[in-house]
Amino acid sequence: MKSLPSPKNNPGQRPAVFLDRDGTINEEMGYINHVSRFRLLPDAVPAIRRLNEAGLPVVVVTNQSGAARGYFSPALVEEVHRHLQDLLAREGARLDAIYTCLHAPDAGCSCRKPKPGLLLQAAADLGLDLSCSYLVVDRYMDIQTAANAGVHGILVLTGYGLGEYKLFHDSHPAQPVHVAANLMEAAEFIINKERDLA
Ligand SMILES: [Mg+2]
Ligand SMILES: [Zn+2]
């Protein structure tokens, strides 16, 4: 495994943990067109809380093209994200920010993953150092996002992860720096790496 650059190389900028949403934090259900379809995976709250306690900014980056497709309103996405923050807050965890692409795939926007726009915007807004940050995801499409944004990709085996790993682990041009069973194992991997660098 390659060694990871230290945040000390970029004074004043912080590493962050970016998280995909569907299949990584919550159960992969297809389009989440009602808040009742949003179900947190069992380790999501403790994993995010551990990252909070480690002092790492935690930022969700998610494609929700169902808004542009007319499957749900942009307001529904906001409602789901308020619900997510409420569920976390009840157990002492929080997301520092959520960045969403609401556009259709053919809209030509610069934010729909695997384009890096959501991560670049978050880095500019929050003063984050992408070169020592992580993106945790359940699909190789998003391992490509990590490569495009210059962050370290971690694949979890929840959501689409297990099937994607079997299909792509020796063929996809972009590969994760680590494969974790779930978000908690990914969080522990990241925290251990940060501790090694400290
Ligand atoms: Mg996903
Ligand atoms: Zn977009």
Q: How far is the CA of 102 from the centre of ligand 2 (A)?
A: 6
- Can you give the pLDDT at residue 12? 60
Kindly identify the ligand whose nearest atom is closest to the C-alpha of 64.
2
How far does the centroid of ligand 1 lie from the alpha carbon of residue 83, in Å? 18
Model pLDDT for residues 110-124, shown as the tens digit of each residue: 999 999 999 999 999
Instruction: Please check whether residue 95 is in contact with residue 60, taking contact to mean a CB–CB distance below 8 angstroms.
Output: yes
Residue 100: nearest ligand to its CA?
Answer: 2
Q: What is the pLDDT of residue 197?
A: 83
Contacts of 31 (CB under 8 A, 6+ apart): 37, 66, 71, 72
CB within 8 A of 64, min separation 6: which ones? Answer: 32, 77, 100, 101, 102
Confidence of residue 180 (pLDDT cuts 50, 70, 90): very high
- According to the model, what pLDDT value does residue 3 have? 44
Judge whether residue 10 has pLDDT over 90: no
20 annotated active-site: yes
Between the CA of 106 and the centroid of ligand 1 the distance, in Å, is 19
Q: Quote the pLDDT of residue 13.
A: 73
* Partners of 99 in beta bridges: 61
Specify whether 22 is catalytic.
yes
Report residue 25 CA to chain centroid gap: 8
pLDDT tens by residue, 30-78: 999 999 999 999 999 999 999 999 999 999 999 999 999 999 999 999 9
* Residue from 82, 65, 76 nearest 33 by CA: 76
Q: Phi and psi at residue 82, in whole multiples of 5°? A: -65, -40
Who surrounds ion ligand 2 at CB < 5 A? 101, 103, 109, 111-112
Q: Where are the beta strands (DSSP E) in 36-118?
A: 58-63, 97-101
The ligand with the least distance to the CA atom of 164 is 1
Task: Print burial letters for 54-89: b (CB count within 10 Å at least 16), e (below 16).
Answer: bebbbbbbbbbbbbbeeebeeebbeebbeebeebbe
Q: Residue 8 C-alpha to ligand 2 middle, in angstroms?
A: 32
Judged against a pLDDT cut of 90, whether residue 148 lies above it is answered with yes
